[in-house]
Amino acid sequence: MDKRELILDTMQELFKEGKAGTASVSDIARRAGIAKGGLYYYFKSKEEVMDALVEREYGSIIKTCNQVLDCSGLNAIEKFAVLLHTYKSSYVDPSLDEYLHMPQNAAIHQKSLSQILLSLSKVITGIIEQGVQEGLMVCRYPEEYSQIILSVFTFLLDQGIFCWTNDQIILKLKALADILEKGLSVKNGSFSFLYDSRSN
């Protein structure tokens, strides 16, 4: 196995055991079965190991979303629904998610949110551009729309930041659907999939 991946796998194991916060570089190296200097060959610090693990975890979600959309012969609105379902059902290790939401880890959490926003917004931009080509949508600012959409899911609806009730979340998703339907000039109800699954 690649040593860099071995180090990240070891860090993930420590997260699952609740030991990541207190583990030192020496502890990580020992657990991985490599010399401390071997770890420093790949990472300058424990913080870099954590950054790389978060990047790998969220990068995997983005890769999955891309793969799902690449294999579909769907129109743009259908792709929106598939992307949302894939993103919401993607697995992030709960112990890592809990760690990211600790106040002292705000910086790395912000990095993870920006990674998701910037990477997935490229996917959504492509979907909107497809919708324009199909004549289903009208949009002069596909990239900006994409970033605004993702900011709702990566920040406003982050339950680790805000403690919304289910009813409050539904209202926000209905508002987002309304904004998109009006802004993209699609018929009413086209984005009802944003809130329908939570209403049942």
The pLDDT tens digits for 63-109 are 888 887 887 789 999 999 998 888 777 766 777 777 777 777 778 77
Q: How confident is the model at residue 200 (pLDDT cuts 50, 70, 90)?
A: low
* Interatomic CA distance for residues 185 and 196, integer angstroms: 20
Residue 74 φ/ψ, nearest 5 degrees: -95, 160
Give the HSE-up count for residue 168: Cα atoms under 13 Å, Cβ half-sphere. 8
Report the CATH number that the domain containing residue 17 is assigned in CATH.
1.10.10.60
pLDDT mean across residues, the chain: 88
- Residue among 144, 143, 141, 127 at smallest CA distance from 190: 127
Residues 106 and 32 in one domain: no
Query: Residues 113, 188: one domain?
Result: yes
Q: Does residue 60 sit in the same domain as residue 94?
A: yes
Give 20's pLDDT tier (boundaries 50, 70, 90).
confident
Number of domains forming the structure of the chain: 2
Question: Do 66 and 147 belong to one domain?
Answer: yes
Q: What is the mean pLDDT of residues 48-58?
A: 86
Do residues 174 and 145 make contact, with C-beta atoms less than 8 angstroms apart? no
For residue 18, pLDDT beyond 90: no
CATH number at residue 119: 1.10.357.10
Residues 117 and 136 in one domain: yes
Q: Indicate if 67 and 31 belong to the same structural domain.
A: no
Of 29, 44, 59, the residue at which a domain comes to its end is 44
Query: Which structural domain, as residue segments, surrounds residue 189?
Result: 50-199
Please give the C-alpha separations between residue 20 and each of 11, 81, 181, 190, 197, in angstroms, as whole numbers. 7, 36, 44, 44, 35
Cα end-to-end distance, the chain, whole Å? 45
